[in-house]
Structure 1
Amino acid sequence: MNIGRTLVLAKNVFQEVIRDRILYIIGFYALIIAVAFRAIPEFAAVSADKIFLDVGLAVMNIIGLIVAVFVGTGLVNKEIEKRTILVLIAKPISRSEFITSKYLGLSAVLGVLLAAMTLIYLGFLQFAKMSYSPTSILIAVGFLFLQLSLITAVAITLGVFTSSLIATALTFAVYLMGNITQDLVQLGRLSRNPGIEKLTQGLYLILPDLSRLDLKNDAVYGLQALPTPTILMNNAGYGLLYSFLLLAIAVILFLRREF
């Protein structure tokens, strides 16, 4: 795989997604935060700061998830439906470069969106003089980026071999299940049924454990009580490795497709 060629393709993907007016989402986020900033103290004066901290990160998560799923599942299918894939594969571009560039391009878009939303979020926190840990917030946003990048890899992988609609539904299902995989294992143990235990253990091994990349509660309610640097590095490595394996699967599936 040619790294330079992959980065050029990723830049094209980035520019293509940006041209779809995806950055308007930043204004939408600012509007939601402004409304929450004014409305939350009216309903919860005592814990308004914590609620606002939670809402800001939660909305950032939801917006990023929607972009990762809806854009990610259509990146490959859009090329197939428009038949532009025939032009691309006729050029000296390997299919692994094609898939990797899609992933890197959309990940870059998510990075820009999260950076812009984080600046808006921190601006409101500073303006309101709320008590918060900037380091905890930035680490939580960094891990949110890893989580969304992993979901992007899921979306692209599913979009390679099925329609955008089905891939979208399946990616949302993976996201929801991935956030409760540890709870599923505990549920299997409580059931005391060997069959259910094996099923929940299997789901835990197959599905991504997204709770390892979710630090919102630690940042909002724990403030300084984030996991140790070793645990953070292990969890970050887990997210990157899982994304790499998904992309490898996507490349294998894409190699077997005929156009």
Structure 2
Amino acid sequence: MTLGRILVIASHVFREVIRDRVLYLVGIFAILIIGSAGFLPQVAAGTQDKILLDLGLAAIGIIGLIVAIFIGTGLVNKEIEKRTVLVLISKPVSSAEFIIGKHIGLSAILAVLLILMSAIYFLVLLVSKVNFSFVSILTSIFFLWLELSLITAVAILLGVFTSSLLATLLTLAVYLMGHLSPDIVKLGQLAKNPTLETITRGIYLVLPDLSRLDLKNQAVYGLTLLPDSQALFLNFLYGLVYIVVLLAIATLIFSRRQF
């Protein structure tokens, strides 16, 4: 496996997604956040600052999620359906290089999107004179990128062996259940049913606990995150290891497919 071939595949993904006009989503975000900044003081006097903070982070997350799921599920699946994958695997490109390159390419797109939307977000907050913690919001956005990168890995894995539509639905289900996984465990404990408790714990262990990467509430309420640097590092490591495992499984499945 060579870094050069991985970067070539990643740059191809990056250029292809850019040509699909995905950056138009940044314009949609700008219209939404600027419009909200002008409208909220008229309907939510006294609480508009917190609503604007929450709305901005939520919009960044939703737009990023749309890109991660709808583009991520088609990264490999589209190559398989169009049979262009035959050209790629006939060249000296390994399955690992192909999968990792695709993931890095889309993760780079997500990073660019988040940077552009964050710049607009911070500018609107400054113009609107909203009190906010720059460090908390920046940390929250970084962990949001890590979460979206993990969801991209899930989308690629599911796209390797299912149709685009099914992969999209399953990835969305993983996202929703990943945010609810701690509540699912608590539900199993409250039921006091050993079988149900075992099932809920199994779901918790298999699915990624995305709540560990969700720092939106801390950012909105300006809670400092620096004293929890050890917990932040462990959560970062958790997300990174999960991505590596998902890509390894995707590579294994892809390498064993017959084209």
Task: Confirm or deny a common fold (TM above 0.5).
Answer: yes
Contact kept? 2:144, 2:214, Cα under 8 Å: yes
Could you report, residue by residue, the CA deviation over 1:61-118 in whole angstroms, capped at 9, with x for unpaired residues? 0000000000000011111122211111100101110011000000000000000000
Q: Distance in 2 between matches of 1:225 and 1:11?
A: 34
Alignment of 1:57-76 (within 5 A): 57-76=57-76
Q: 1:184 is matched by which residue type in structure 2?
A: I
Question: 2:161 aligns to what?
Answer: 161
Question: 1:32 aligns to what?
Answer: 32
Alignment of 1:119-138 (within 5 A): 119-138=119-138
User: What is the Cα deviation at residue 222 of structure 1?
Assistant: 4.0
Cα RMSD, aligned residues only: 0.9
Secondary structure at the counterpart of residue 221 of structure 2: helix
Q: Distance in 1 between matches of 2:247 and 2:186?
A: 30
Structure 1 gaps, min length 5: none
TM-score (norm 2): 0.98
TM-score (norm 1): 0.98
Question: 1:195 aligns to what?
Answer: 195
Paired residues in the alignment total 259
Q: 1:134 is matched by which residue type in structure 2?
A: F
Secondary structure at the counterpart of residue 180 of structure 1: helix
User: What is the Cα deviation at residue 174 of structure 1?
Assistant: 0.2
Secondary structure at the counterpart of residue 109 of structure 2: helix
Question: 1:88 aligns to what?
Answer: 88
Contact kept? 2:133, 2:222, Cα under 8 Å: no
Contact kept? 2:29, 2:60, Cα under 8 Å: yes
Q: Distance in 1 between matches of 2:243 and 2:225?
A: 27
Q: Distance in 2 between matches of 1:74 and 1:176?
A: 20
Q: 2:249 is matched by which residue type in structure 1?
A: I
Question: 1:6 aligns to what?
Answer: 6
Q: Distance in 2 between matches of 1:221 and 1:62?
A: 20
Contact kept? 2:103, 2:156, Cα under 8 Å: yes
User: What is the Cα deviation at residue 5 of structure 1?
Assistant: 1.1
Deviates more, 1:198-207 or 1:224-233: 224-233
Gap change, CA 1:130 and 1:222, over 3 Å in 2: closer
